């Protein structure tokens, strides 16, 4: 039940410190500084032979896959990419023997992802599942995989399933990296940082009232841009999707580096941009993208690391988040975006848990 929250989405947003901890539970080994994912049904030798990783998914799960691919390639030095299942299914994709696939899905019943998986399996691919619903069709038909253990997700808009999918990818990337490039000490730092994420998420959730006030200030806008780069690019896509789904406000997620190639034409006094600009190696680049928007009088809400005075000076409003290692910001930055979408929907009197035209699991093509 809703346990005192106004709706399931709110409850599920606030559950994330616990749901992420559940996903990680028993899967991190501090002594050997690695991840443990027995359900993959693959020996270390088989994992070592993997040359490429491809991820298929839809919607929010695809966004988690984009983060996962980036992380795996960065840490484990294995080429990795994420593709929409609805696209992969109908193209004649090449399956190579040393490639493994992940089908990522909360429900485990999404038709596009299921049929993509069946197509891949027919071609001889090894397809692993990252599923939340135990015993779901994709979980049953996959060659192995990982349950996210986020607990039941009732609201149509996916929130805790997303952060749990991220957590699985962080564990998997660690496991693969430690078999290749990553030292024990770097691995231990990574494990500690990952174990600390639930607590950081709890801290971010304390900004509830501040984010609600921002929603009250901005919810009348007709269009929003959500902008980030690197690992924060998929987070921008996810923030835009959340706002669209439940508030019906038009929002576009873009790479901040891409705005000058078209979307900047949309910017005026009435089109706010939400920037993801944590302290990472792309911060300077994103700051210059913020200045481009500012020069065109676009209002800016910036999600930045606490104490970042330079960003605060450019933005109209900021949502400060605690500092984490730069690879871990997706966990921390998606939380304010979920809350922002939720509070905008509330202001507009929308049915948050059951938005129009949408179903929790999309079992038709």
Question: Among residues 58, 174, 267, 319, which is the contact residue for ligand M6R, using CB under 6 A?
Answer: 58
**Closer to ligand M6R at the Cβ: 267 or 352?**
352
> Please, what is the minimum distance in Å from the beta carbon of residue 57 to ligand M6R?
6
Q: Is 110 in the site for ligand M6R (CB under 6 A)?
A: yes
Q: Tell me how far apart the alpha carbons of residues 97 and 100 are, in angstroms, rounded to a whole number.
A: 8
DSSP summary character for residue 328: G
Residue 206: which residues within 8 A CB-CB, separation 6 or more? none
Q: Tell me how far apart the alpha carbons of residues 175 and 182 are, in angstroms, rounded to a whole number.
A: 9
> Please, what is the minimum distance in Å from the beta carbon of residue 168 to ligand M6R?
13
Q: How many CA atoms lie less than 13 Å away from 222 in the CB half-sphere?
A: 5
Instruction: Tell me, yes or no, if 123 is annotated catalytic.
Output: no
Question: Among residues 16, 19, 34, 60, which is the contact residue for ligand M6R, using CB under 6 A?
Answer: 60
Q: Is 86 in the site for ligand M6R (CB under 6 A)?
A: no
Question: Among residues 19, 23, 107, 255, which is the contact residue for ligand M6R, using CB under 6 A?
Answer: 107
**Cβ pair 274, 311 in contact under 8 A:** no
From residue 191 to residue 230, what is the string marking binding to ligand M6R with x (rule CB under 6 A)? ----------------------------------------
Q: Which of residues 300-359 bind ligand M6R (CB under 6 A)?
A: 358
DSSP summary character for residue 311: H
Q: Is 268 exposed, middle or buried (CB count within 10 Å of its CB: 0-12, 13-18, 19+)?
A: exposed
Q: Is 129 in the site for ligand M6R (CB under 6 A)?
A: no
283 alpha-carbon distance from chain centroid: 19
Question: Among residues 34, 106, 305, 338, which is the contact residue for ligand M6R, using CB under 6 A?
Answer: 106
Question: Among residues 16, 23, 34, 61, which is the contact residue for ligand M6R, using CB under 6 A?
Answer: 61
β 34-35/28-29 pair status: antiparallel
Calculate ∠ Cα 219-222-223, nearest 5°: 100
Q: Is 59 in the site for ligand M6R (CB under 6 A)?
A: yes
The residues of the shown chain that bind ligand M6R, judged by CB under 6 A, are 58-61, 105-107, 110, 113, 156-158, 241, 245, 358, 361-362
């Amino acid at each position: 039940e809703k346990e005192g929250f106004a709706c399931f989405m709110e409850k599920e947003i606030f559950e994330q410190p616990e749901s992420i901890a559940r996903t990680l539970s028993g899967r991190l080994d501090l002594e050997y500084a690695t991840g443990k994912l027995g359900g993959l049904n693959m020996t270390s030798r088989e994992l070592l032979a993997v040359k490429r990783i491809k991820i298929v998914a839809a919607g929010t799960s695809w966004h988690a896959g984009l983060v996962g691919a980036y992380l795996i390639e960065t840490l484990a030095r294995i080429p990795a990419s994420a593709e929409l299942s609805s696209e992969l299914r109908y193209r004649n994709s090449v399956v190579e023997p040393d490639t493994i696939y992940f089908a990522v899905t909360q429900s485990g019943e999404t038709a596009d992802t299921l049929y993509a998986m069946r197509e891949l399996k027919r071609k001889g691919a090894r397809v692993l599942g990252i599923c939340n619903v135990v015993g779901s069709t994709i979980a049953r038909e996959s060659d192995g995989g990982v349950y996210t253990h986020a607990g039941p997700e009732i609201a149509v808009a996916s929130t805790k399933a997303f952060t749990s999918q991220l957590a699985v990818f962080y564990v998997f990337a660690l496991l693969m990296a430690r078999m290749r490039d990553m030292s024990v000490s770097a691995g231990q730092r990574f494990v500690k940082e990952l174990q600390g994420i639930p607590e950081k998420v709890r801290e971010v959730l304390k900004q509830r009232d501040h984010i609600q006030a921002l929603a009250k200030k901005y919810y009348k806008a007709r269009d929003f841009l959500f902008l980030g780069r690197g690992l924060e690019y998929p987070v921008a896509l996810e923030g835009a999707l959340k706002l669209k789904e439940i508030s019906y406000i038009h929002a576009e997620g873009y790479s901040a580096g891409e705005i000058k190639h078209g979307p900047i034409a949309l910017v005026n006094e009435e089109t706010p941009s939400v920037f993801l600009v944590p302290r990472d190696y792309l911060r300077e680049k994103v700051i210059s993208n913020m200045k481009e928007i500012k020069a065109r009088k676009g209002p800016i809400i910036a999600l930045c690391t606490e104490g970042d005075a330079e960003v605060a000076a450019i933005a109209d409003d900021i949502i400060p988040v605690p500092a984490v290692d730069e690879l871990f910001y997706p966990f921390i930055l998606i939380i304010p975006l979920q809350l922002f979408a939720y509070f905008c929907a509330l202001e507009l009197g929308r049915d948050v848990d059951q938005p129009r035209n949408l179903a929790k699991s999309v079992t038709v093509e």
